[in-house]
Structures are given as C-alpha cells and as structure tokens.
Amino acid sequence: MLLSDLLGCRVLDPDGTSLGTVVDVRFRRGPARRTREADLQLVALIVSPRSRMSYYGYERGRVDAPAVINAIMARLHRGARVIPWECVAEIRDGELELGVTAPRIPLDPRVPIGEG
C-alpha cells in the first residue's frame, strides 16, 4: 500500500456515517536492525471533517506558524481528529471503513481524549 492510496480517502464509521477525509497520517519507527534503519509503522490517520487539504505540518505543536496561516488551518480543520490504524477494517475504492467506533482523539495534546 502507498501513502497516496490513503490520502483523500473518505472515512466511514461502522454504521456508514462519514467522519471526514484522511489528510495526513502518523508513523512510528519500529525496532532498529543491525544492517539497516528501522521500518516505519503506520499507527494513525488524521481525519478532517471539513477539508481535504493537508496541514503541511502546521498541526504539530513545535511548529510556529504565522498567525494568519495558523488561523486559516484551525478554521479549515476544526473538528479534525486522530484515528488509530487498528480501527480500520476495510479499504476499498477511496473509502476506509472502520470496524469499531474510533475513540475521539483530538489533534491538540492539551485537550483531553473524548473532548476533541
């Protein structure tokens, strides 16, 4: 699977309700190998209910965006959330169907899970 296969896909919860569009993903580096770098493992999708546009890295807490760009990104992606990869049951024709109801994990780490 390629990253381009996921970006732009519509995400559906188990009852068929659209949660939004995949705008970014999160990876974790796996265990290191002696002879080569560790593999990257897909751990989560970033899903935005209002926009198909990427964040271009501005959602990460350590990036200081100009105030105007920060305001635009916040408005375009309000309600965006992290969906763990383990929740995905099926991938087909531009859609990802979740097998379970995903927890509500906000992008902002200061917001408690469930309130995002």
Q: What is the pLDDT of residues 77-101, one digit of tens each?
A: 677 888 999 999 999 889 999 999 9
The tally of domains found in the chain comes to 1
d(CA 24, CA 44): 9
Residue 116 lies in a domain: no
Is 76 within 8 Å of 51 (Cβ atoms)? Answer: yes
19 in any annotated domain: yes
How many Å separate Cα 56 from the centre of its chain?
13
Question: At which residue do the structure tokens 């970014």 appear?
Answer: 24
Asked if residues 107 and 58 have their Cβ atoms less than 8 Å apart, the reply is no
Confirm if 77 and 59 have CB atoms less than 8 A apart: yes
Q: What domain range is 53 assigned to? A: 3-102
How much is the pTM?
0.75
pLDDT at 42: 92
Q: State residue 10's pLDDT score.
A: 95
Token look-up 């350590």 returns: 62
CATH number for 21? 2.30.30.240
Query: Helix (H, G, I), strand (E, B), or coil: what is residue 74?
Result: helix
pLDDT tens per residue across all 116 residues of the chain: 788 899 999 999 999 999 999 998 989 888 877 777 888 899 999 998 876 556 555 555 555 667 776 676 666 667 788 899 999 999 988 999 999 998 888 776 667 777 54
